[in-house]
Structure 1
Amino acid sequence: MNKNLKEITDWLSSVIGTQNFNLEPLREEASSRKYFRISTDEKNFVLVDNSENKEQAAKFLYSSKLLINSSVNIPKTYAFSEDLRFMLIQDLGEHTLDAPSDVDDKEILLKALKQLSLIYFCDQDILKSCTKNSLFEQTEAFSEFCLEQGCNENEIKALESLREQLVEDLLNQQFIPVHNDFERRNLMISRNELFVIDFQDLNVGPIGIDLASLLFEHDRDYPKELLEEVLSIHIRNSGLQIEADE
């Protein structure tokens, strides 16, 4: 047994009170976090190993308290190590909603928007707020991609102008609590309830960021009529004083 695995099993045994469990690696993330499914005779859990980024674990735990207080569906946290390296959380299954699903798109979007409307009312007084620089940095990857594709100087200048205008438009939107990565890959359905995951970047930002992430995902092309319908329902039910053209 390697050192890393021994540290995991030692901590886990101390938490669940048994050494009789199976440990199965789960999906690889772009982040430094590692996930494992823990199966016992009575229950399944997910263990998160934050060995390379414990600051993210602190943000996750902090954000989870705010989301729970706002009645957002998120996985339960059962335990975490003193140094925040390990967390034991609720097992919601294997399939995020970016994978093929038996649930139709309208139902998924309405369930997701219901959770988003609850996120809006998290306690924003203790959340960090997006800045002009942080919003500009979020489009940096696209700029780098265009450079790699051999865009000429005039095209790059036009792109930079577009990025600046986009950020100005975002800064003029209403600022509220946002998930900051509200895509189907960060949504799961368990027992017919939709849950929000990977919420450690929760902060205060433009209202349109999460809506755009969900409704205009790069690999999906929802019918315009569906988008208008679910957005109208969301605005009516969210409790916010906004118009559809905002």
Structure 2
Amino acid sequence: MASFQKDFKIWVMDHLPGSALLSEPLSLEPIAGDAGFRSYFRLNTQIPLLAVYSPPQEENNLAFVRVSHHFSSGKIKVPKIFAVNFEKGFMLLQDFGTELLQPLLNLDTLPQYYDLAEELLLDLQLLHPGDSIFPNYGKPQLIAELQLFQKWFVDKLLMLDLSQRDLSILDDLFELLIGNAMEQPIVIVHRDYHSRNLIVHNNQIGVIDYQDAVVGPITYDLVSLLKDCYLSWPEEIVRQRALSYKSRAVSKGLMREIKDQKFMKWFDWMGLQRHIKVMGIFARLSIRDNKESYLSELPRVVNYVLSTTFNYSELKPFNQWFSERICVCLPRYPWYSGD
């Protein structure tokens, strides 16, 4: 480890931009990371910089760089990349600072910051996806994500054995959700557009953690923002903002005019797909990666699932199954009960 740190520090020193003045020996201060395998270090340079170790065997660093350049060319605010070593997984990036959107949000500040976040999202969706930059977020990818729920949340976290009837109910729901996703207009999708991946920087919103961006359904990033896995808002506020976004998307030519009810179905069912996937991902982060803090966010995600499946008659069979097979197990777990 000492050898790696020395090698990393030498690389950082060799690739500092000319404007990155140092008044004392270079230091690399570890800072909190994200749900991936990357490690972040804040430098003591006079311009804000981050050194990043992003293990190439775990992270798609080429995708990060390509998406960064594409977003930047479209005036999307992303960290500037100063240097990359793809073989070793070293990167030197602009530091947007520590002002994540999440702790700034409350019912009073929500309109101000969500207006900015939604305008940024519209700009992102208006970008042409280019050639071979963004993978297609189609049926195989959607199925693979939904299957994370059974593998990691049901099987490994709750340790439940599912019957053929249980599996049939899941299959029926997955078909509905995939059909809903596939009928929507296609745009660039960040795929994790929420309050922990948006940073307030110089009175603007900057976006991070976008290396998994794809082309996919228009409501995916919107529902990721408005039905955030790390905070929640009253349903009426969510509905009002979703429909306001729909009107702006129509006016900008991103989609044709459709009935509000249809758009809300797109939005709600897309959110259900995401939240079912997230239950699997948060369980995997805890079990495989020892990041147990993500389990404390699951009660909110469970509530999203219950609410959405209660509000649509087509989803009632899953709502009943989820209540009877899954929810009855949850109070025994400290991360759910709060004990």
Same fold, judged at TM 0.5 (above): yes
- Is the aligned partner of 1:184 residue 2:201? no
> Which has the higher mean CA deviation after the structures are superposed, 166-175 or 139-148?
139-148
The number of residue pairs the alignment matches comes to 245
- Is the aligned partner of 1:121 residue 2:126? yes
Q: Quote how far apart the aligned CAs of 1:215 are.
A: 1.3
- Is the aligned partner of 1:241 residue 2:246? no
Change in CA separation of 1:36 and 1:135 when aligned onto 2, cut-off 3 Å: same
Which structure has more strand as a fraction of its residues? 1
Confirm or deny: 8 A CA contact 1:69 1:122 kept in the other structure. Answer: no
Rounded to whole Å, the distance in 1 between the matches of 2:171 and 2:162 is 12
Unaligned runs of 5+ in 2: 264-339
- Is the aligned partner of 1:146 residue 2:154? yes
Q: Note the alpha carbon deviations across 1:51-71, whole angstroms, 9 max, x for none.
A: 344751110110011111221
Q: Which residue of 1 aligns with 2:102?
A: 98
Secondary structure in 1 aligned to 2:43? strand
Rounded to whole Å, the distance in 1 between the matches of 2:9 and 2:237 is 47
Confirm or deny: 8 A CA contact 2:185 2:255 kept in the other structure. Answer: no
Q: Which structure's relative contact order is higher, taking Cα pairs within 8 Å and 6+ residues apart?
A: 1
**Counterpart amino acid of residue 142 in structure 1:** F
Secondary structure in 1 aligned to 2:79? coil
* TM-score, normalised relative to structure 1: 0.88
Rounded to whole Å, the distance in 2 between the matches of 1:171 and 1:24 is 44
Secondary structure in 2 aligned to 1:139? helix
Rounded to whole Å, the distance in 1 between the matches of 2:221 and 2:161 is 29
Q: 2:179 aligns with which of 144, 168, 172?
A: 168
* TM-score, normalised relative to structure 2: 0.66
Q: Quote how far apart the aligned CAs of 1:37 are.
A: 0.5
Q: CA RMSD in A?
A: 2.4
Secondary structure in 1 aligned to 2:191? coil
Q: Which residue of 2 aligns with 1:136?
A: 143
| Structure 1 segment 148-227 matched on structure 2, within 5 A | 148-149=157-158, 150=160, 152-153=162-163, 154-227=165-238
Which structure has more helix as a fraction of its residues? 2
Secondary structure in 1 aligned to 2:196? helix
Percent identity of equivalent pairs: 25
Q: Which residue of 2 aligns with 1:81?
A: 85
Rounded to whole Å, the distance in 2 between the matches of 1:64 and 1:202 is 10
Q: Quote how far apart the aligned CAs of 1:146 are.
A: 2.8
Q: Note the alpha carbon deviations across 1:28-54, whole angstroms, 9 max, x for none.
A: 3332211110112x2221111123447
The structure whose Rg is larger is: 2
Rounded to whole Å, the distance in 2 between the matches of 1:100 and 1:107 is 11
Secondary structure in 2 aligned to 1:74? coil
Q: Which residue of 2 aligns with 1:7?
A: 7
Rounded to whole Å, the distance in 2 between the matches of 1:179 and 1:30 is 15
Unaligned runs of 5+ in 1: none
Rounded to whole Å, the distance in 2 between the matches of 1:101 and 1:190 is 15
- Is the aligned partner of 1:59 residue 2:63? yes
Change in CA separation of 1:2 and 1:161 when aligned onto 2, cut-off 3 Å: same
Rounded to whole Å, the distance in 1 between the matches of 2:84 and 2:238 is 40
Rounded to whole Å, the distance in 1 between the matches of 2:65 and 2:42 is 19
